[in-house]
Amino acid sequence: MSQNQSSKILNELKRILIIGSGGRENSIAWALSKNQSIEQIYISPGNGGTSNIEKCICLRPKSKDDEAIILECKRLLINLVIIGPEVPLAEGLANKMREAGLIVFGPSKEGAQLESSKDWAKAFMKENNIPTANYWTSYSKEDALEILNRYGQPLVIKADGLAAGKGVTVCESIEQSRDAIKEIFSGKFGPAGNKVILEEKIVGPEVSIFALCDGEKLIVLPPAQDHKRLLEGDKGPNTGGMGAYAPAPLIDQKDIQDLTDLILIPTLKGLQKKNIKYIGVIYAGLMLTSSGPKVIEYNCRFGDPECQALMPLMGEEFASVIYSCALGELEKAPKLTRNNFCSACIVAAAKGYPEKTQKGDQININLKPHSSVQVFHAGTEIDQFDNIITSGGRVLSVVAQGKSFDEAFDLAYDSLKKINFDGIHFRNDIGYQVRSN
């Protein structure tokens, strides 16, 4: 595309609003802030680290309803809204904002079903020949137990709806599969558990791929890998994610092209067939099995903390690319360049996370600014005395870049030593797959 078109896109984009309060949103804001033409970035509600990011402030309308935030967008002449988390996407915030004339990066409620209903996503994959594990859908405990009995082997049991990453049990025994079925139908996840997906267990290394979509076209970002379990050696309970790294070397450029043809393009085409103009991130969580790659889940937004590891790899054009997607004009975007580093992200969690998170602890950060280290806040807030205190389970992530993963992780862990709060805990083995020490 021409220089002119690209600079027009840059010139228009001045004020951005990002919806969310986590590390993902802070890292997106940080990546966007590198673009010279952007004047102001608001994050709503944001967190205790929002104002540390250049050009960035929190936006907190008095009322929490969607109409209040739409009015604020109009008042502040916001050119682009980026919706970070899955819940507002599943509830239709992007629909309402587009109806009000705003330019939004994030799928409609209909598109967000890729993530908000596992049953919908599985049927969608079957319809579009996208490889995934075999499954059954069940609406009652009795029916689900009957399917399990007939199958005669442990299954993966999933609540259909959004369950903050906690609705999946990969069962080791039939007994455990039974318990997981009973637990979901007893109402543990509320309406998200009205339906249950019983899935065949598949095995293989996992990797996530991401595409930025404008409804018809897409571009693929470097792959990332996260660590969901709380404890070292991938043990303990599932969490929102304890760390990540990118680009994941498990797949190379050729594999990425193959996965784009096999999974990402059929996904976008399948959505178009359903008259869904999908603008936003398609995240495909994959398992590389002996019979080929299979999708284990879709997300309708960036993963957290994969996003924090990915953002430092994005060139300055990132803002224009996102904006072009939101306009449905990806062809007008400048080429997205990529920094050639290895990026490591380690999440520091609060005492008691994930079971019983302690809040209100003062956070001390004694880090000197370093061009290859970022601290992205998540569960933090500023108290009445201007101290930064913990306010959530995953408190912050430290991200570092290096020429190798060893260098990136050494720098990230060294930096983490200079951050402290009561009960801080993190995994020391994040990225063990790519580190030699």
Closer CB to ligand AMP, 40 or 289, in the complex:
289
In the bound complex, what is the minimum distance in angstroms from residue 190's beta carbon to ligand AMP? 17
Q: Cα separation of 135 and 393, whole Å?
A: 33
Subset of 102-161 contacting ligand AMP (CB under 6 A): 133, 156, 158
Q: Cα separation of 399 and 387, whole Å?
A: 22
Closer CB to ligand AMP, 188 or 359, in the complex:
188
Binding segment for ligand AMP (CB under 6 A), chosen from 102-110, 141-149, 199-207, 229-237, is 199-207
| Backbone phi, psi, residue 296, to 5° | -100, -25
DSSP β-bridge partners for residue 80: 16
Q: Please identify the residue of the shown chain whose CB is closest to the bound ligand AMP.
A: 297
> Which run of H or E residues covers position 394?
strand 394-402
- Which tokens hold the place of 58? 């929190």
- Neighbouring C-alpha atoms within 13 Å toward the C-beta of 167: 26
To which residue do tokens 């025994």 refer?
A: 173
Q: Cα separation of 407 and 404, whole Å?
A: 5
- Binding residues with ligand AMP: total (CB under 6 A): 13
Q: Are strands 364-365 and 56-58 parallel, antiparallel or unpaired?
A: unpaired
Closer CB to ligand AMP, 47 or 225, in the complex:
225
* 99 Cβ contact list (under 8 Å, min separation 6): none
Closer CB to ligand AMP, 283 or 318, in the complex:
283
Q: Cα separation of 153 and 327, whole Å?
A: 48
Q: Does 296 bind ligand AMP (CB under 6 A)?
A: yes
Closer CB to ligand AMP, 290 or 371, in the complex:
290
Q: Is residue 155 within 8 Å of residue 201, measured between CB atoms?
A: yes
Q: Is residue 359 within 8 Å of residue 350, measured between CB atoms?
A: yes
Helix (H, G, I), strand (E, B) or coil at 59: coil
Subset of 158-187 contacting ligand AMP (CB under 6 A): 158, 168, 170
Amino acid identity at 272: Q
In the bound complex, what is the minimum distance in angstroms from residue 206's beta carbon to ligand AMP? 6
Q: Does 226 bind ligand AMP (CB under 6 A)?
A: no
State which of residues 8, 74, 126, 201 lies at the interface with ligand AMP (CB under 6 A).
Answer: 201
Q: Does 414 bind ligand AMP (CB under 6 A)?
A: no
To which residue do tokens 């092209």 refer?
A: 257
State which of residues 66, 72, 91, 206 lies at the interface with ligand AMP (CB under 6 A).
Answer: 206
Binding segment for ligand AMP (CB under 6 A), chosen from 66-74, 201-209, 360-368, 384-392, is 201-209
Closer CB to ligand AMP, 110 or 297, in the complex:
297
Closer CB to ligand AMP, 50 or 225, in the complex:
225
Closer CB to ligand AMP, 74 or 201, in the complex:
201
Catalog residues that contact ligand AMP under the rule CB under 6 A.
133, 156, 158, 168, 170, 199, 201-202, 206, 228, 285, 296-297
